[in-house]
Chains A and B, each alone.
Chain A
Amino acid sequence: MTVVIGFEGSANKIGIGIIRDGEVLSNPRRTYITPPGQGFMPSDTARHHRAVILTVLKEALEQAGLKPADIDCVAYTKGPGMGAPLVTVALVARTVAQLWGKPLLGVNHCIGHIEMGRLITQADNPTVLYVSGGNTQVIAYLERRYRIFGETIDIAVGNCLDRFARVIKISNDPSPGYNIEQMAKKGSRYVELPYTVKGMDVSFSGILSFIEEAANKMLSSGQCTAEDLCFSLQETVFAMLVEITERAMAHCGSQEVLIVGGVGCNLRLQEMMGVMCKERGAKLFATDERFCIDNGAMIAQAGWEMFRSGYVTELEDSWITQRYRTDEVEVTWRD
């Protein structure tokens, strides 16, 4: 048996999870929620993580019913993400690894999402759509790398949704994306927005600028409602994501899609992807908010795979990095 504890805090969630051979023993998490109209800044987010991380660590051990001696490896997010929060979490991971005499392991955050999705859904070799507040990528596994087939050329899809929510002062609790999703259900009028697929890549910054301007004009003149804008934005950006995912599947001859990342728990995105999959005779895999949204268990799970295939990170090499592409990691744990 191999037990891995995973520390995640690359954005506004701090989570610590424990995995024992594919079983999630605990996965507590806290979210830093800012007032409507405000995003989360690196130093404030680090302060939030700092204030709760040791409590979350206690919870993770207690809920799992484990003592430090039962743990085989301490995994943490090396990157990508915001620097200050990453450092806060890495400091605790490095310290407990030494206190407990356990090996340390730096994990790529994106790989954490992919491996957690594969574990929960049992998808074998899916084309992966990874969509969150910081990342938007279409990924497929080939020859020991998770290769990026398409991605955003500017901001992430979740960032586009979050910033739109700020413009019209939608609550950030539990998350701006969740609240947009609920409001979109009441929208009926489709407002035409730019549709910006560029080959295998997508762009969201122009859509955001357009809808920011439209929001001010159309809402004040009563041409449409905030709900209509939420609906229109979701339909447009999700259609773009489905299009590039389908093209990657056709390219790879893949019959499976796995959606991961915070935006991946959006049921409308899952529904639209499901329609495309049905038409192609493919299978859709997705998870719910527990595992889609950043959490500690996903770092533990990727760490479990890596540790079992021989990876460890020496303390002097355990620096964090804000930029860390998915395809930089050699995938030694898959055929």
Chain B
Amino acid sequence: MATETNQETGKLEFILDVPFPSSREATVALRSLSPDREPRRGVISKRLSVSGSTLSVRWSADEARILRVSVNSFLDHLSLVVETMELFGPPVDL
């Protein structure tokens, strides 16, 4: 996790890496968390990706307040998805 100001764009950036037991589970989380768009498109962007068994999220925002709200809400959503996987997983073989 890290927050910093991008020297070129002047935007605040936040990067979060979440380890999962396998790439399958990281992908399930990615696809559950991706569909709903940010309510304030334009002033904040969020990009999700999976590499190996790690889910990476990268935010870029104009204001710290909006960034904080988005990160907080993402963490709430992530914890729900992880708990759902723990209780109703593991994923079936495809």
A residues touching B (Cβ–Cβ < 8 Å)? 50, 53-54, 57-58, 68-69, 83, 87-88, 90-92, 94-96, 98-101, 315-320
Contacts and interface: CB of A to CB of B under 8 A. Distances in A.
Interface stretch (B4-12, B13-21, B27-35, B58-66): B27-35
A98 B35 contact: no
17 contacts: A50-B76, A54-B83, A54-B87, A58-B87, A83-B39, A87-B36, A87-B77, A88-B77, A91-B81, A92-B80, A94-B32, A95-B84, A95-B88, A98-B31, A99-B90, A100-B92, A316-B34
B75 interface: no
Interface in B38-92: 39, 76-77, 80-81, 83-85, 87-92
Contacts of B36: 87, 90, 319-320
A68 B31 CA distance: 20
Contacts of A69: 92
Main secondary structure of the interface of A (DSSP, over half): helix
A98 B27 CA distance: 10
Interface of B: 28-29, 31-37, 39, 76-77, 80-81, 83-85, 87-92, 94
Contacts of B37: 319
Contacts of A91: 32-33, 77, 80-81, 84
A68 B84 CA distance: 13
Contacts of A58: 87
Contacts of A88: 77, 80
A4 B91 CA distance: 19
A88 B78 CA distance: 10
Contacts, number: 69
Contacts of A96: 84, 88
Given A50-B76, A50-B80, A54-B87, A95 B32 contact: yes
B88 A319 contact: no
B35 to A, nearest CB: 4
Contact of A92 (B28, B31, B84, B92): B84
Nearest to B78: A91
Contacts of B29: 95
A88 B29 CA distance: 14
A96 B85 CA distance: 8
Q: Which of B29, B80, B90, B94 has the most CB of A within 10 A?
A: B80
A68 B85 CA distance: 13
A95 B28 contact: yes
Contacts of B35: 90, 94, 315-319
Nearest to A316: B35
A166 B56 CA distance: 45
Nearest to B87: A54
B24 to A, nearest CB: 9
Contacts of A54: 83-84, 87-88
B72 to A, nearest CB: 11
A300 to B, nearest CB: 17
Contacts of B88: 54, 57, 68, 95-96, 99-100
